[in-house]
Structure formats: structure tokens, C-alpha cells
Amino acid sequence: QSQLDKHRAFFARTMYYKSMLDSKNKVFKNIIKSVDQAGNIDTQDANQKMQQINDRFTYVSQNAQIWEQKLQEAVRCWHNFRECERIISDWLMKAEQLISEKHIDTKEIVESHKVFFERVNERWIHDLVQTAQDLRNCLPTDQQRTIVNSVERLQSKWKEVLSFAPLHLMRLEFRLDETTFHQYIKDIDKEINIEQQAFNKQENVDAIIARNKEF
């Protein structure tokens, strides 16, 4: 973007210099007319130099427009690539946080993990590859390696996380079942102690039995 801004700033006065050159051309033509009327003066060298100036100005002006278009395309490609890179990096970071999470003790947490991994969009990685290719087409060969490295790194991490996701979700289910089972055992122990105390206090046996059946 900075290169594009510098380019635009430098060539912003092109029309001013174009009008100045047009004015000089008119003056030059009037001079040549006057000289031609006087005769015996060779104007070929002067004409040639003036033509060279006009040709150079036309060449530079046309190429300035071409380069501005190329710079605009490069800025667009950089923006698209960085956006795809950001989306995937953010998703991978969140995925790694979920995978490393230790306290999984409710069905809601397990469901939130499932939703996160099931909603992954495979198009993100496709868009990353495509925008990277578009960007490389805008860049010199010696500047393309960093783009390739970034894409390869994200692709590798993407495959690693997605291949591990099913195992992660299975572990969550197991840990949740295990937690639920342990809680159930605790509840049973607690109930047995309550009933034991009631029995020791010689409370109504039928009531104790009814409580046990209800539990």
C-alpha cells in the first residue's frame, strides 16, 4: 500500500506537466515556423530532441498507469491473502485451546466442542491456496518463498488438527461418562450413609425402605 501511495503521489501532477509540455510544443512549433521562413537554418536536430521528449513523456505516462494498476492488484491480493491467513490462524488457535482444555464436566461443554469442529469450513483452506497463488502472480520470484512457506505451515497444522478432532471428541465423551459415573457413585454412598444413620436411630423401617426404592 505504501508503494502505491508513493506512486500516486509522484504521478499526481502528470496532467500539470502534460499541459506544460503541450504549451512548450506550441511555442516550439511557432519558433520552427519563424526559422523556416528565415531559411538557411537546420532544425532537424531540434525537432528530433523535441520528439524524443514527447515520446519519453508518453512512454512514462502510459507505464505509470500500468504500474498503478499492477500495484492496485498487488494490494488487493495481499489483503485477500492476509484475510484468509487470519481466519485460518484464528480457527487453529481456538481449536488448540479446546483440545488442551482440561475441565470437561458438563454435556454443554462437550456439545460446544462438537459444534465448533463440525462447523469447520473446508473452503477456508481452498481460499488460502487460491489467494496465495493470485498473490504470487503479482510478486517477483525472490519474494514468493515466504508466501509458500506460510501456506504449507497452515496446511500442515490444519490437517493435523482435523485428523485429531475425532479422537478429541471421543475422549470428551469418555471423560464426561467417567465424571457422571463417579458422581453417581458419590450420590449412592451419600444415600447409604443417610439410610444407615436413620436405621441406627431406629427410625421407621418402612420409611427407610421406601426411600431406598425411590432413590
pLDDT tens by residue, the chain, 215 residues: 666 556 556 555 667 677 777 778 787 777 777 776 666 666 677 778 888 888 888 788 877 777 777 778 888 898 999 999 999 999 999 998 888 877 766 777 777 888 888 888 889 999 999 999 999 988 888 888 999 999 999 999 999 888 887 776 677 666 655 555 455 546 545 655 665 665 566 656 566 556 555 65
2-214: CATH, from 2.40.30.130, 1.20.970.10, 2.40.10.340, 1.20.58.60: 1.20.58.60
CA gap 198, 194 in Å, rounded: 6
* Phi, psi angle pair for 35, to nearest 5°: -65, -40
Cβ atoms of 11 and 68 within 8 Å: the answer is yes
Cell readout for 70 is 499492477
**Residue 71: what residue type?**
L
